[in-house]
Structure 1
């Protein structure tokens, strides 16, 4: 795998390729493929079901965008026909058996929120000549993280007033929590780094209203959206040089005034209403500043 989505990361963690080998031996199936193995097919079918791809031809166009080895639709079809169906029944049983608390602990999926934002404190320029801000004002900026619901201070980083929030954001990261932040933290390349296995950081971050969605795919849903939710999709973010390499989930809702609120996240197993509820808790840091 060249790059992986969150789903593929989870599958490769809980069902690595070596766990499949005893099943292949039991079924007396010898996998002679080098370019596209049985394990690659397993990850492809899981992603196809997760994102509701329409078939092999559709998957051929989308699999590279999800970090999977790219092969043509005929290779996919031939491989699927060749592999015993019993193998996937065994894998399904294995996946069901792994849906427990122990597995969730191994994956390290956090529940608590880390809400991050900054506030600027200004004084006369003569008092802080080393920190000019605007006109005759000087200022320092506090980059603050608090633990949601508890309201406890997690970490504070001090900079001059002109320091961008994004530059100090790495100092606030903590993989034990779900990062919640506003638009000033919504850089697409950062989202790519958050989804890398060694740097994985779960997040819910608001995007700017003019963000471009590239290769969007709507997530299927059995029931209508409730409340203010308008859309739930996956896509690459941005375009040209600013295009993200990985796909992110995007949930779009409306605020009480009818304005769009666009949220990016890698929490693929939450409901869109759950994502919206997480972001609403960002208001706690505004109350903290006041």
Structure 2
């Protein structure tokens, strides 16, 4: 790799530009555009994500100070914030959505051989949603409550990596369980969800598609025990049962048997009840699968802390979705580069180094050499009080 290029330029070399331009041509994204086409807008948004820019004025000021290096970034000049605002409002967000899907497919291929925390050969997905609060008077297209607007990110995370597999952006009113209606189902894969997704009709669709699910039972589940398997209570497994639903409507929605596993966590002391349609998996593996779901929670915390989706550069629906999908593209692109170059650093460290060195002319390997530490997400609620004795 040519070390005469900036780190940003080296990163952009991993972008499949032919694929991007084909998507733009199919969507006619640059039709009638004179300044800041779709490719240039992506480069600007990638720069803003990598350097943690907070506003259009911030982006304009930072790019203007690096006027001599803009050519090597693929930009003709520093775009004024009015041009940026117009581009965000007018460039079709579906272009960046489709491009994100191509990058996700590439990343999943690279990470297909990554080991799972659970000893399984099948693909394991974690499904969850997070809400991003907005101002109702500004984002009136995303109603949530009487005095608040919001959007939801419904995310399916492939736990090998972990790499995004599916994202759906909706308004805040859409219930989490409704995303199961549009979720791509892969036969033989495991879908791990919390009890907010406990809808027997939708779970039976997963079962009929020959996919497996692991979720938690709600309190007061009306079911009868058909069979109890022998368990070792010293492992924390209290019971492993085959059950059938008793409720008139629930039994019609899910007419097959289910497996109910009651497990006591020795660390927290909590007793958890899991439901799954996989009848042969060891009960401790089912508990470990549900525990692995926490990776999607960590992903939401990470992406909110380190990608620019908490403060939006535009207020229209198109501008918000363009920014979110660009952020997803940057996240997946960094994951691709990390794997392709076999860099032994976390994504957090990678992005932190890039944020202050994007204009440095050195190789990516050299810029990240020796940085083998990991930075965990800190639970500030457990932090000690400075004034406690």
TM-score, normalising length: structure 2 = 0.43
Tell me the CA shift for residue 200 of structure 1.
1.8
Tell me the CA shift for residue 212 of structure 1.
1.7
Q: 1:246 to 1:269 in 2, by over 3 A?
A: same
Tell me the CA shift for residue 277 of structure 1.
0.7
Q: 1:180 to 1:285 in 2, by over 3 A?
A: same
1:236 equivalenced with 2:244 (yes/no): yes
8 Å CA contact 1:133–1:139 kept in 2: the answer is yes
Deviations 1:250-278 (A, max 9, x none): 11113444333221112211110111111
Deviates more, 1:224-233 or 1:277-286: 224-233
1:268-279 superposed matches below 5 A: 268-279=279-290
TM-score, normalising length: structure 1 = 0.57
Other-structure match for 2:373: none
- 5+ unaligned residues in a row in structure 2: which ranges? 1-119, 302-389
Other-structure match for 2:168: 157
Deviates more, 1:280-289 or 1:242-251: 242-251
Greater relative contact order, per chain length (Cα 8 Å cut-off, separation 6+): 2
**Count of aligned pairs between the two proteins:** 178
**Structure 1 residue runs of 4 or more that deviate by more than 6 Å after TM superposition:** none
- Structure (1/2) with the larger strand percentage: 1
Other-structure match for 1:249: 259
Other-structure match for 1:187: 199
Q: Look up the SS of the partner of 1:172 in the other structure.
A: coil
Tell me the CA shift for residue 245 of structure 1.
0.8
8 Å CA contact 1:229–1:251 kept in 2: the answer is yes
Other-structure match for 1:206: 216
Q: Distance in 1 between matches of 2:226 and 2:151?
A: 43
Tell me the CA shift for residue 242 of structure 1.
2.1
Q: Distance in 1 between matches of 2:168 and 2:246?
A: 29
Deviates more, 1:117-126 or 1:230-239: 230-239
Q: Distance in 2 between matches of 1:276 and 1:217?
A: 21
Deviations 1:41-72 (A, max 9, x none): xxxxxxxxxxxxxxxxxxxxxxxxxxxxxxxx
Q: Distance in 1 between matches of 2:136 and 2:222?
A: 40
8 Å CA contact 1:116–1:172 kept in 2: the answer is no
Other-structure match for 2:133: 122
Q: Distance in 2 between matches of 1:174 and 1:218?
A: 29
Q: Distance in 1 between matches of 2:123 and 2:259?
A: 20
Other-structure match for 2:270: 259
Name the Cα RMSD after superposition.
2.0
Q: Distance in 1 between matches of 2:215 and 2:149?
A: 29
Q: 1:242 to 1:130 in 2, by over 3 A?
A: same
Deviations 1:99-128 (A, max 9, x none): xxxxxxxxxx96121100000101110121
Q: Distance in 2 between matches of 1:242 and 1:208?
A: 13
- 5+ unaligned residues in a row in structure 1: which ranges? 1-108
1:224 equivalenced with 2:232 (yes/no): yes
